[in-house]
Structure 1
Amino acid sequence: MNRKTLVLSAVVGLLAPVLAGCGGSDGGSGGGDAIVVGTTDPFVATKEAPAPVDPAYTYDTNTWNLLKQTIQTLLYIPRGGGEPLPDAASQCGFTDTGSESYRCTLRSGLTFSNGDPITAEDVKYSIERVSNINDPNGAVGLLANIDKIETSGNEVIFHLKTADATFPYKLSTPIAGIIDPKVYAPKKLLDGFTIEGSGPYTFKAEVKDGKMMKAVYTKNPKYKGALKLQNSKVEIRYFPTAEDMAAALEKGDIDVMNRSMTPEQIQNMQAKPEEHVNLTEIPGQEIRYLAFNTNAPVVKDKAVRQAIASVVNRGDLIKKVYGPMADPLYSVIPSGITGHTNSFFNEYGDGNKTEAAKFLSEANIPTPVKITLNYTTDHYGAATKKEFETLRDQLNSSGLFDVDLKGEPWATFLPKKNEGKFPIFGLGWFPDFPDPDNYIAPFLDKDNILSSPYANKRAIDTLIPESRREADRSAASNTFAELQNIVSSDVPMLPLWQGKQYIAARDDIFGVEWALDSGANLHLWELGRGTAGS
């Protein structure tokens, strides 16, 4: 069988009712061998970050994908997208017309993988623990609208401070995962790589010198929920380079590879098909951007940020670095998400050096402006270095900037970002859930993920709460358009590109098209070995 590229359209969710019945029976994988998945994303426990897999600590795609396999949530996003459905819960819903009170009933007989029973009080404990710890690295902001949590028997009632139609989506994320109070202390992070949950898999890590070398996911016989497993065991193996990972796939040492293949690998796999490996393209909602510490002297004046926004040429960047793997992004809300506009293109164009010079001249800022672009060397793939070299060259060639680059590992990059040590830095964003709110509130609301002092009163006090009152999300499009215009006007961040996603797999693996959704959420339970039945 020659390798082919399978392209899933943005309407893949419409196929879910047709394909949902396909695949083996629960737990079947065509054999007892583990399905082996390769990745270049490292997991490291350090002195600065000793608890990399605690739900209260982490807020990155790599770790959330680990937790999604092991920590159960009340709700989950179904195959192909759509509104959240019950998982640990048997039913959930708003109990008022104002979207301010939300009630969930737990499934009966739920237990953690160690056999401890799960109660409504455990759910309350798990979510309140995140708020009590309030770690700056975590996603506590997603829970900030909870006023109080009550329990009654097997029911959990969430009382919200303000209306929030997106709240069910937030309960489907790992920050709202249910953890065992006997294992996780109320106000202290759990160091190391221990995970105790009630999700579809149990977890065991092989660690050397604080670095995870292999992660083993074994079917959890105590799991009670909506997910159907197509395998009994999955291993994640970590590779130092994308080239090492690809060699392992070619030899058959691994069955699947995803993050992070290089643009060159994707192009070669498309141009020169080989036997026994399929490449699947999946629509992506990943974005990349530059962020600014608006209190840092070098970028405190908005004119500097506007000049950078004018000079950057996204088409040139993508052509030189990412090719078919990315599209230009001119707004914080990507194409394909309700309410998207091209606010940055409308404001600045692309590669407009004349406009950039005008911003600096009118603000009486001498040129060239000396700046440093900070990026992480091991978190977003091997092409990141070339991306920042291209951005440097664009800015320097304008004659308006004198740019240095500084790259460092994620384990040290993230704490420094959170401490506000970088005036300008590069980050990626994978949505927690497919709603425009999740591309706005994390960057503009209180306690934003950028650790930025930037605050727009109208956005925080009026527009974000206003958008959340709309149960029909398309009805909030005008509000989101204004929010995008605020971002393009003030430039607390600069969107660069929107990515596509690819998975390569040996041709005896099925379920690959469902194993990664548009938000880069990994669903290991969808992978099976052999021929999918129907």
Structure 2
Amino acid sequence: MSAAKRLGTLGCVGLLATTAACGSSSSSGVAGVPKTTLNMGTVSAYSSLDPAGAYDAGSWMVFYNVYQGLLTYLPGSTSPTVDAAKSCGFVGTDLMTYSCTLPAGLTFSNGDPLDSAAVKFSFDRVVKIGSETLPDKQPADNGSGVSGLLSTMKSVDATTPTTVVFHLKTADATFPDRLASGVGEIVDPKAYSATRVLDGTSVVGSGVYKIDSVQTTKDSTGATVPTEVKLSLNPNYKGAYSKTKPTNSGVTLKYYDAPADVRKALDDGSIDLNANSDLTAKDVTELEGAQQLGKGLQVVEGAGANTRMMVLNTKMAPFDNVAVRQAIAKLIDRDAIANTYDQTVTPLYSVIPGGIGDGTTPYEESPYDVKPLSPAVVKASLTGVSLPISFELTYAGNSVGGPAEAAQIKKTLEASGLFKVKLTSVANLGKMIPLWSSHKLAASLTGWQPDYPDPDDFVSPFVGLDNTFGNGYAPPNIINKLTPLSLKQADRADDATASTFEKIQKQFALDAAYIPLWQNKQYIVTQANVTGVPLTLDLAAIMRFWMIGKS
């Protein structure tokens, strides 16, 4: 499984001056909507416009606006609700069969029918494309690994033109969440290959918007990268937001090379808002301090579910010793780390962030609850260990705040006299992924961006001998007992589910293979006349373009 989307590290695309346009422009054709076009800027360019070939934040941001899933998340909710479907639910009590009914007459933006056959086609192709390789040995899904989100799906049947039934390999209470994620978008069988990812920008979806044009350029390697995407309203959209009039008639997404470029575009009025939390902490705090009510640039803050953590390899010295891992967790100064981000992040004491499920804070409980945890107290727990303990800490150099964060961790650990830390910076996340896959990193720093707002998405990818981070953490109690139990608990908000995840979190803290550092906040900076942004900032992390307008 690729970590490209989920590992929250900023990457930037280098652009050249020459651009090439493709596609054609058209009006929205939706009555009663303000003739307002929004300009949004971000460094998070899409990697593919095909749900079967992309697993990154930039792509999913586009998907949520131009495609439609059977389910979606309404603003402020962490429970899926129907969108393209008119009803969905598990059949029986074993949570192994899931059925959805579609309304009659649903269509894509081009008028083609969106029926159960289109839904089956969409899910079958994700699995097929994800399981095949091209003649050059490259994955048919561009290496995104997005098909892994459908790992519990055994098959899908179109039993009637308006009924689709999913058969699962095991009980999976999170399956509705997976359907509401970016992998669950429905595509037109007449416009997409069943065996290959879309090559180009001829997107046909059924979401609130349709793509009118895309501008691209060549980067320094000769690869084609996007510089701009123009969207207009889809007059054929029918779904969860049909009764709510959009507050704009179109959106232009502009892609920039670096956060400084986004800040400049905001300052000179080239864009109305940034379309992702991709400004530096310094920019955010500076703009917060300068803003005046209704004047100049405004900073809108919202809850976030992205986390940052330290990953320790349980199969590699010195972290094959749980006492050493716990010593790191005892000494970490989360407040000092948050200060390196100008307090735009919140210290985190669990692998599952606040707001996702009924979170607890086990990294503030035994054996971490002695305050303060002095070096002498920690040293006493390291019986028989030669001191100082030397290790290498690796991080992506282009991650926003990463270098300062790593330096702070090194400073804290070495000040204890118990550790000697060598910092190693690699260029970007792409360079770290193969190191995790080959189990070569003793300790590393990374972010995690969930696919859906369920606590399981902060657990299952982290465990197993070949987990996302290759750190060998495979606790039998979690893998064989607690996780299977949690996936049989359909009510994600009840006390029994909360109790299961409380036990999981406690086990994570005792084993200390992952040391949570902080949880993000979302920040969108807008011009003074932009409205509706708070409706796009919630734990589902869906940028709902149609809810943003201008006064």
Shared fold (TM-score, shorter chain, > 0.5) = yes
Distance between the aligned counterparts of 1:452 and 1:376, measured in 2? 21
Give the aligned partner of residue 306 of structure 2: 286
| Pairwise CA RMSD | 2.8
When residues 283 and 296 of structure 1 are mapped into structure 2, their CA distance, relative to the original with a 3 A threshold, is same
Give the aligned partner of residue 37 of structure 1: 40
Instruction: Report if the CA contact (8 A) 2:78-2:540 is conserved.
Output: no
Give the aligned partner of residue 239 of structure 1: 256
Report the number of matched residues: 493
SS at match of 1:348: coil
Instruction: Report if the CA contact (8 A) 1:70-1:198 is conserved.
Output: yes
Give the aligned partner of residue 178 of structure 2: 170
2:535 to 514, 519, 522: 514
Residue 501 of structure 2 is aligned to residue 480 of structure 1: yes
How much has 1:119 moved relative to structure 2?
3.0
2:151 to 126, 144, 154: 144
Instruction: Report if the CA contact (8 A) 1:284-1:520 is conserved.
Output: yes
Give the aligned partner of residue 335 of structure 2: 315
Amino acid at match of 2:300: T
- Cα deviation code 1:22-43 (max 9, x no counterpart): xxx96766334x2011223345
The alignment-based identity, stated in percent, is: 32
Give the aligned partner of residue 520 of structure 2: 499
Q: What residue ranges of structure 1 are gaps of 5+ in the alignment?
A: 1-24, 44-50
Q: Spell out the pairing of 1:250-265 with structure 2 (5 A cutoff).
A: 250-257=267-274, 258-265=276-283
Greater CA drift, 419-428 or 80-89:
419-428
Instruction: Report if the CA contact (8 A) 1:310-1:355 is conserved.
Output: no
Distance between the aligned counterparts of 1:191 and 1:447, measured in 2? 32
Instruction: Report if the CA contact (8 A) 1:277-1:505 is conserved.
Output: yes
Distance between the aligned counterparts of 1:146 and 1:453, measured in 2? 26
- Cα deviation code 1:264-307 (max 9, x no counterpart): 22222222225243222112222111223444455444444333
1:249 to 243, 251, 266: 266
Give the aligned partner of residue 18 of structure 1: none
SS at match of 1:500: strand
Instruction: Report if the CA contact (8 A) 1:40-1:239 is conserved.
Output: yes
2:97 to 84, 87, 101: 101
When residues 125 and 352 of structure 1 are mapped into structure 2, their CA distance, relative to the original with a 3 A threshold, is farther
Instruction: Report if the CA contact (8 A) 1:26-1:230 is conserved.
Output: no
When residues 309 and 188 of structure 1 are mapped into structure 2, their CA distance, relative to the original with a 3 A threshold, is farther
When residues 122 and 35 of structure 1 are mapped into structure 2, their CA distance, relative to the original with a 3 A threshold, is same
Distance between the aligned counterparts of 1:398 and 1:193, measured in 2? 55
Instruction: Report if the CA contact (8 A) 2:303-2:522 is conserved.
Output: yes
Instruction: Report if the CA contact (8 A) 1:149-1:157 is conserved.
Output: yes
When residues 148 and 523 of structure 1 are mapped into structure 2, their CA distance, relative to the original with a 3 A threshold, is same
Give the aligned partner of residue 342 of structure 1: 361
Amino acid at match of 1:292: L
Instruction: Report if the CA contact (8 A) 1:376-1:413 is conserved.
Output: no
How much has 1:365 moved relative to structure 2?
4.8
Distance between the aligned counterparts of 1:175 and 1:511, measured in 2? 27
SS at match of 2:305: coil
Instruction: Report if the CA contact (8 A) 2:465-2:471 is conserved.
Output: no
Give the aligned partner of residue 19 of structure 1: none
Amino acid at match of 2:147: V
Instruction: Report if the CA contact (8 A) 1:396-1:403 is conserved.
Output: no
Q: Spell out the pairing of 1:34-433 with structure 2 (5 A cutoff).
A: 34-43=37-46, 52-132=48-128, 133-134=130-131, 137-153=144-160, 154-190=162-198, 195-203=203-211, 204-209=213-218, 210-227=224-241, 228=244, 229-257=246-274, 258-274=276-292, 275-297=295-317, 299-319=319-339, 321-346=340-365, 347-349=367-369, 353-354=375-376, 356-358=378-380, 360-362=382-384, 364-365=385-386, 367-375=388-396, 377-378=398-399, 382-399=400-417, 400-433=419-452
Distance between the aligned counterparts of 1:150 and 1:343, measured in 2? 43
Greater CA drift, 148-157 or 401-410:
401-410
Q: Greater helix share, 1 or 2?
A: 1
TM-score normalised to structure 2 length: 0.81
SS at match of 2:453: coil
Instruction: Report if the CA contact (8 A) 1:389-1:405 is conserved.
Output: no
SS at match of 1:286: strand
- Cα deviation code 1:382-427 (max 9, x no counterpart): 3233222222322333331222221313444445544545443322
SS at match of 1:270: helix
Distance between the aligned counterparts of 1:27 and 1:448, measured in 2? 50
